[in-house]
Amino acid sequence: MKAQSHKKIWITSGDIDGVGLEVALKALKSIGPKRGTQFFLFADKKAFQKLRKQVRDFPFEVLEFHSLIEATSASLNFRHLYVIFDGRAPIEWVRDSAQGCLKNPHQNALVTGPLSKSGILRAGYKEIGHTEMLKTLCKSKFLFQAYLGSRMNVMLLTDHISLEKVPSFCKDKKRWSAALNEAQVLMARLKLKGQLAILALDPHSGEGGIIGNQDQSFEKWMNASKFKSLNWLGPIPSDSAFEASRRKSVALYLAQYHDQGLIPFKTLHGFGEGVHLTLGLPFVRTSVDHGTAVEIFGKNKANPGSMKDAILTAIQLL
């Protein structure tokens, strides 16, 4: 097989004192070598040497490099895991991998382990998360977080902003148009069957204007827009949106703010399942749906389920 036909999956293991590297190694062990797919892993050398001993019967031959350029210059072999030991801050691993993906977005995908926001700030970045940094790097006006799981899928209209700013952000019809376009693309690519359920901003969808009128205003705009023909439902009250029978008919929920969508998602899936996907990038980026979990670092207790799902989803979307 020619090298240029390989899918390249760039995995950044996140904070050195977090569980990202542990779940990455466990996930790769479970997945194993895949013909036509090359895995690259950014990691801290000391942490890798320690955690590699905990993952027995590892199915890859590990090749060590000191930079992305050095790793990409090597001959590709799907049975090898290319590990890049880079002493810089882990957010720099993300930046380098993303820049590589930008050069050939149809062949490269980024899978990220968890990073603490404080660690990103200490590295000198003003952005407080992967999504914000990727937005700056890719010069994308709108990026959206989506979370995929076995019990529900959810997309966020806004993400890491103060709750007091949410109503004004949700009045932006350009944001809504971009989000609805990305929702359609996601549902088509993953062949998600069912309705797009849009969650109301106000309790009881504003109760006909008694509580608020922003949801009524949105519904009026939606019914007059090019999106009116979508198989959509809403805006529906959040307190009844996630009942089991309703979830069966919903392919994707579109939440207007962070906790509105992620409280039910993480309650249903915990930290062992679920994929975080960034929509609006020119390349595929997936991630785990959990944090760094520093309290169990090095204890061989981390569940790799979310990382495994993230890697497999990235391969699927290329």
Return the pLDDT at 122: 87
Phi, psi of 9 (to 5 degrees): -110, 115
Return the pLDDT at 80: 96
pLDDT in tens, 104-117: 999 999 999 999 88
**Which helix (H) or strand (E) segment is 41 a member of?**
strand 37-43
Architecture of domain 144-266: 3-Layer(aba) Sandwich (3.40)
Q: Which CATH number fits domain 3-140: 3.30.1360.170, 1.20.120.1200, 3.30.2130.30, 3.40.718.10?
A: 3.40.718.10
* pLDDT at residue 2 tops 70: no
List the domain boundaries for the chain: 3-140, 144-266
Return the pLDDT at 3: 43
Phi, psi of 157 (to 5 degrees): -70, -40
Sheet arrangement for strand 7-12 = 61-65, 80-85, 37-43, 7-12, 108-112, 284-287, 275-279, 144-148, 153-156, 250-255, 195-199, 232-236
Average pLDDT over residues 41-70: 93
How would you classify the pairing of strands 195-199 and 250-255?
parallel
The average confidence (pLDDT) of the chain is 92
pTM recorded for the entire structure: 0.88
Return the pLDDT at 16: 93
pLDDT in tens, 56-95: 899 999 999 999 999 988 988 999 999 999 889 999 999 9
* pLDDT at residue 195 tops 70: yes
Share above pLDDT 70 across residues of the chain, in percent, rounded to a whole number: 99
Alpha-carbon span 316 to 318, nearest angstrom: 6
Select the more confidently predicted residue: 167 or 300.
167
pLDDT in tens, 221-247: 999 999 999 999 989 999 999 999 999
User: At what angle are helices 305-317 and 20-31 packed, to 10 degrees?
Assistant: 60
Do the domains 144-266 and 3-140 match in fold?
Answer: yes
Report yes or no: 151 and 268 within 8 Å, Cβ to Cβ. Answer: yes
Alpha-carbon span 277 to 259, nearest angstrom: 16
* pLDDT at residue 220 tops 60: yes
* pLDDT at residue 296 tops 90: no
pLDDT in tens, 278-288: 999 999 999 99
Helices (H), 73-202: 90-103, 117-122, 130-138, 166-169, 173-189
Share above pLDDT 90 across residues of the chain, in percent, rounded to a whole number: 73
Return the pLDDT at 193: 93
Average pLDDT over residues 177-189: 96
At 290, which amino acid appears? Answer: H
